[in-house]
Amino acid sequence: DCAIARCAAAIAAAAKDKAAKDNAPKDPVVAAMELQVGAVISVMVTSMDDKKIVVSERALVQDQGAKALKVGMRTSGRVVSLSDFGAFVELSATDPAAPRLEGLIHISELSWNRISHPRDVVRVGQEVDVKVLDVVLSEDRKPARITFSLKQLQADPLLETLDTIMPVAMPEPSVDEDELLDTPLPGLLDICANLLTEDGIDAVIPGRQAVEQRVVSQDLELWLTNVVVADGYNLLARAGRQVQEIHGVTR
């Protein structure tokens, strides 16, 4: 009787364990693959020998999408994974050019600022707009490779002008910004004096001042703007967050 009871208890425990496993949520990847059982799909042969043939649906998606993408075009997708060297983005399944295509945003193309890891800028699951930087089509059974850029759809702080730094409707500056605006740009007098020694320059007139949102360079930099000026040219002197417009009058 004891042996029968122990056997019955073992059977009951096994049945309970099986029921728990059957009711446990399935891995999403496994569940998605089970839905494909019996379906007819298009694939690409990635390797082959005497004993086996390896095919990939992903490789075919990459190849077809890569042929549709053009360098320089803008598209959007979702961040699917992060690594030390960049973020992987998958285009939407409804993308008209390259549905479900996956590409890499290298860490250097995530932000104009220096960052230590992609997670400083993006997170998994985030929707992003990207620019296509490079497309390498599949060759010798190697999948196509696509590289994207996030930062090239944003303004380069080094190319900002005073019109973008100082919009028409300016918010009230903080106390720190007030102090910076009241402080002359370091080296401004030397810049003006040196410009006046150049041939063809009649006068040097300091113009507007502004405070940038971020530190572009701790060193003093001098930039020639692309603004057309009838009687000379405009320069931007920058140091830290301070920007000073300088107008050079020519003969």
14-35 tens-digit pLDDT: 666 666 666 666 677 777 777 7
The per-residue pLDDT for 213 is: 65
Mean pLDDT, range 158-186, rounded to an integer: 51
Residues 6 or more apart whose Cβ sits within 8 Å of residue 181: 173, 209, 210, 211
> What does the alpha-carbon distance between residue 232 and residue 158 come to, in Å, rounded to a whole number?
22
Q: What number is the average pLDDT over the span 69-75?
A: 89
Average pLDDT over the chain, rounded to whole?
77
In a 3-state reduction of DSSP, which class is residue 43? coil
pLDDT > 80? residue 5: no
pLDDT at 175 over 50: no
Q: What is the pLDDT of residue 109?
A: 93
Asked if residues 62 and 99 have their Cβ atoms less than 8 Å apart, the reply is no
CA 26 to CA 15: how far, in whole Å? 19
Q: What span, in angstroms and rounded, lies between the C-alpha atoms of 157 and 1?
A: 85
Q: Which residue has the tokens 């390797």?
A: 47
Of 233, 220, 238, which Cα lies nearest the Cα of 158?
238
Q: How far is CA 120 from the centre of its chain?
A: 11
Residue 218: is its pLDDT beyond 90? no
62 — pLDDT class (breaks 50, 70, 90): confident
Percent of the chain's residues with pLDDT above 70: 73
Between residues 208 and 8, which one has the greater pLDDT? Answer: 208
Taking 50 as the threshold, does the pLDDT of residue 169 lie above it?
Answer: no
Residue bearing the bigger pLDDT, 203 or 93: 203
Higher pLDDT, 46 or 19: 46
In percent, the amount of the chain with pLDDT more than 90 equals 20
- Predicted pLDDT of residue 174: 39
Residue 200 clears pLDDT 70, i.e. is over it: yes
**Digit-coded pLDDT (tens) for 83-138:** 999 999 998 877 777 778 889 999 999 988 778 899 999 999 999 999 999 998 87
pLDDT category at 172 given cuts 50, 70, 90 is very low
